[in-house]
Chains A and B, each alone.
Chain A
Amino acid sequence: MRRVVIFGATSAIAQATARLFAAEGARIFLVARNAERLEAVAADLRLRGAAEVHTTVADLTDMADHARLVEQARATLDGIESVLIAHGTLGDQAESERDPTALLREMTTNFLSPASLLQALAPVMAHGTIAVIGSVAGDRGRQSNYVYGAAKGGLRVFTQGVRHRLASRGVDVVLVQPGFVDTPMTAAVAKGGPLWAKPERVARDIHRAMARGGPAILYTPWFWRWIMLIIRLVPDAIFRKTKL
């Protein structure tokens, strides 16, 4: 029975992934901010086959608490094999341009907090996989969301480093790069066209990567790997003229 810890367990992608673990009869430890939501998610996973589901309410921007949280998860599950770090916010670029406090808050939730969790997890895990949700926005800074993008871009290098650090111990670290995902978090964005993926689709890719321990960077759905390759390669002189 797999022992799975999920941070930010009430996000749509985390829930969809957790359901796949539940169907396998996993033992699951969930962390999120809102007790009522957490309980709804836990009840759902119990019904869907999870051997056990534990929950802890925590504000993950409180980094002083991370070591304790990780220890609690380890003790409850008697070891940790799979971790998904899924919390994050989409942020408001314009607000971060005006207000340094907002900028700091974005960086904290989307970069510092997951980075600190990785630090807390690194010494505890003996084998298995840690998956961290990044974003294709981290692949190139764009005027419309470079604050969010920079946080996710930072996470990319950080994750790479932790993967390197843990390689000898047989722990794999995967950076998940989803494209546009049709979730309540993106409800305010007009959707259309084939680029929008359902959280269930993204969850299947994450679940598979967590079982295999790779790739190091998982683009999901797969075609984003090629889209982002092109976006990274567009020369600055041309990129500057786009409205992206």
Chain B
Amino acid sequence: MVRSDYLSWGRVLRPRQTVTRPAFMGDVAAILRGSRTSVLPFGMGRSYGDSCLNADAALIDVRALNRLIAFDRETGVLEVEAGVTLAEILQYLTAVSEPERSWFPAVSPGTKFVTVGGAIANDVHGKNHHSAGCFGNHVLSLRLLRSDGTTHLCSPSQETALFAATIGGLGLTGVILSAVLQMKSVPSLWLEVEDIRFEDLAAFDRLNAESADWEYTVAWTDCLARGPQLGRGIFTRARHAGRLGPPPPAMLRFRRSMPIDLPGFALNAASVTAFNALYWRRAPVTPTRRVSSYEPVFYPLDAIGQWNRIYGARGFHQYQCVVPTVTAPEAIPALLNAIAAARQGSFLAVLKTLGSRPSPGMLSFPMAGTTLALDFPNRGAATYDLLNRLDAITAAAGGRIYPAKDGRVSAGDFQRGFQNWRDFARHVDPHFSSSFWRRVTAPFESSSNS
């Protein structure tokens, strides 16, 4: 069935795609056999750009593959079908949590409405990347179906090359049918949290250095602040607290939903600047410690369904890059300055220090350094000009951009950022493709210095 209602989270593109929806794992092989165009698996569509889209070709919506298969309460090993979401896993772990021990996903991105397949394919990272690495570091094994009809059980010790390619493999190596994941043992599902306001990037670095015994750290930054205020923000750190009565309830639905696309003029430089300044001031000057359920700390945006409509019908881009530790002190201010000067950023600028634990994934995004992520309402050429300038700063710093968030990076910048993309390409299933992949593997004129 050709449809145009399968979008990514940024809603910039509205491609036509043939969509099938297997109800059981056993149905996928027939779909692969029957497809005359290239195919791509599709999860919850929480990727922002075109990496989960396959324009004028086929998508396999895997969300009905959402069954739990097995859980070992002693070891925390959970086996699920690939369409199970983190929200469902959290609901399940809440239900089975015990007074002395609870289990929690080892790594979680900033929304729980992602599938396990999608989390593996983007090798997502969370607020604990500095200690726990990526999602792929906690995948014990996965079952992958290729278009030739073969099923591969991949793990760190079996079919290792295919395992490495599939983690962070952008859905291009086959359909992940199921996965075995290691959950993390925690004293409770409650968190101890501190919010600390900081004045500049030096203070951000200091807070990172001081937070060694905090498992989760992340900072919101006021991306429109300039001059001496450049890089100011609010640093949040959290860790699992001891048991405090029954576990917090797991929410599966939104409290509120954006009913419509907001008109384009609602988010302008003035309103965003005002919001950011207010938000920064709202945080107390002296750090406050509180105890919270994990929901508002991990998934603040999940409380509002379809919040992406706030950016209007033209959609938005998210820009997320990482720059290595050595170049970060110059690159991060340069990026923030460029954004503030263009007066284009939005509310959700996030700064986080990534750790050095390597992921098994060949095409994984994280590297030891600093990552910056923020939203840009789609204003056409002005937006693309700015994003290209940011690309140049990132590339000069030896960094790279995150495919899960991208819808426009040039083939050259992608290929320079992910040097081993050709090795990866050898594992791509010949019947799989995506709009992103066609774009970033197009031949490009290499610049004079490379």
The chain B residue with its CB closest to the CB of A40 is B67
B92 near A184 with CB under 8 A, answer no
A187 near B20 with CB under 8 A, answer yes
A187 near B69 with CB under 8 A, answer no
Query: What mask results when residues 5 to 21 of chain B are scored 1 for a CB within 8 Å of chain A, else 0?
Result: 10000000000000111
Known A43-B69, A47-B70; contact A187-B25, beta-carbon cutoff 8 A: no
The chain A residue with its CB closest to the CB of B25 is A40
The chain A residue with its CB closest to the CB of B78 is A47
Q: Chain B interface: which size bin?
A: 20 to 34
State how many angstroms separate the Cβ of B447 from the closest Cβ of chain A. 44
Decide yes or no whether A10 CB sits under 8 A from chain B.
yes
Known A37-B24, A40-B24; contact A192-B92, beta-carbon cutoff 8 A: no
B1 near A184 with CB under 8 A, answer no
State how many angstroms separate the Cβ of A88 from the closest Cβ of chain B. 14
Count: A-B pairs, CB below 8 Å: 54
Besides A12-B23, A184-B23, 13 new A-B residue pairs in contact (Cβ under 8 A), listed by A number: A23-B95, A34-B24, A37-B24, A40-B25, A40-B69, A40-B81, A43-B67, A44-B69, A47-B71, A48-B68, A48-B92, A183-B64, A189-B1
Q: Which of B72-108 contact A (CB under 8 A)?
A: 81, 92, 95
Query: What mask results when residues 29 to 62 of chain A are scored 1 for a CB within 8 Å of chain B, else 0?
Result: 0000010110011011001110000000000000
Q: Which of the residues B1, B21, B26, B70 comes within 8 Å of A36, measured between beta carbons?
A: B26
State how many angstroms separate the Cβ of B163 from the closest Cβ of chain A. 24
Q: Which of the residues B5, B19, B27, B64 comes within 8 Å of A192, measured between beta carbons?
A: B5
Known A41-B67, A44-B68; contact A184-B25, beta-carbon cutoff 8 A: no
A–B complex contacts, Cβ < 8 Å, 14 sampled: A23-B95, A36-B24, A40-B67, A40-B69, A40-B81, A41-B67, A44-B67, A44-B69, A47-B68, A48-B95, A184-B64, A187-B1, A190-B1, A192-B5
State how many angstroms separate the Cβ of A228 from the closest Cβ of chain B. 25
The chain B residue with its CB closest to the CB of A49 is B95
Decide yes or no whether A240 CB sits under 8 A from chain B.
no
Q: How many A residues touch B, CB cutoff 8 Å? A: 22
Decide yes or no whether A68 CB sits under 8 A from chain B.
no
B24 near A10 with CB under 8 A, answer yes
Contacts of B25 in A (CB 8 A): 40
Contacts of B61 in A (CB 8 A): 187
Q: Which of A87-130 contact B (CB under 8 A)?
A: none
The chain B residue with its CB closest to the CB of A42 is B67
